[in-house]
Amino acid sequence: MHNIKQKIKQNKTLDFIFSGKILFLLPAFALISIFVIYPLILAVGYSFTDYYLLKPNDISFVGFDNYMEIAYDKYAKKAFFNSAKYVIYIVPLQVILSLFLATLIAKKSKTNTLFRTAFFSPYILSIIVVSLLWKNILDPNSGIVNEFLASLGFAKQEFFSDPNLALPTISFIILWQGISFQMLILMAALQDIPSSLYEAASMEGANAWQKFKHITLPSIKGQVVFVLIVVTTGTFKIIIEPLVITNGGPQGSTSSILLYMFEQGTRYRQIGYASAITVIFAIILIMIAFVQRKLVKEEEG
């Protein structure tokens, strides 16, 4: 039976190739090759060299020296650790809160339409605009949040200057802007659940929690897994918010993998070292994609 399915799959693949439909994929493949595959191949090659941007003709092969240097670079390790902290702070809250909001506004009504628009508004704003907006709101001297705290008799907080507050604060800003998109994905999934399932559960005497646990969650499990993986990969790729708000500070407490790579490549012109960081980052994303594929297959299987 397995051999028959395999032959059918092979025949469909061959039919697709020789039917000419594959030509429609060539533009997308060309763009991916130019802007993704080719730069990644270059990064892998440069990661084994001492390529310095201001001396492009003086490149030497250094083997795994760049990778060994990353292992002993305390700033690189801190950037990796910070990225993990971003994931821990943002991912669980964003998934849970987006599901909660989606549940609240899933029913079609004029009021819920207004709430959907309000919740989605931050997502359509530029990341730079949002970063500057919150930087002003949380300013220790003239920000409205600190002014409000002072009016209540509390001390003003150095949200972006305190190493203990900076990363959680940036995490909150990212969470505030990104939650609405995940909410829409889950809301669409909730609206596809047949109402007859809830009606039957009500007739059996099920309460709201039992309906959510036994009907809602199993019905949207695939979408929840998708949101979880998208948020995780997106959080690992954080760069603009810490760059605009704190420039990685204070004391490197908000620097991420991408931001540290960016600094090594542009500020210090160490293309070889930055490329090694890029390769490690790509491996992390590939591993996450593999986990996603595994979870989705288990869901479908």
Amino acid letter, 158: E
**Residue 48 token pair:** 């084994």
Does residue 36 sit within a domain? no
* Nearest CA among 184, 191, 198 for reference residue 107: 191
CATH code for position 230: 1.10.3720.10
Does residue 230 sit within a domain? yes
Which residues 6+ apart lie within 8 Å of 252 measured at CB?
A: 75, 78, 79, 82
Does residue 84 sit within a domain? yes
* Each residue's pLDDT expressed in tens, for the chain with a length of 301 residues: 555 545 555 555 555 555 566 677 788 888 988 988 888 899 899 999 999 988 888 889 999 999 999 999 999 999 999 999 999 999 999 999 999 888 888 777 777 778 777 878 888 888 999 999 999 999 988 889 988 888 888 888 899 999 999 999 999 999 999 888 888 889 888 888 888 888 888 888 888 888 888 888 888 888 888 888 888 888 988 999 999 999 998 888 999 999 999 999 989 999 999 999 999 988 988 888 788 777 766 655 5
Does residue 11 sit within a domain? no
The tally of domains found in the chain comes to 1
Does residue 270 sit within a domain? yes
Does residue 129 sit within a domain? yes
Does residue 238 sit within a domain? yes
Alpha-carbon torsion 197, 213, 299, 32, what sign?
Answer: positive
**Residue 286 token pair:** 């590939």
Its pTM stands at 0.84
119: containing domain: 73-300
Does residue 243 sit within a domain? yes
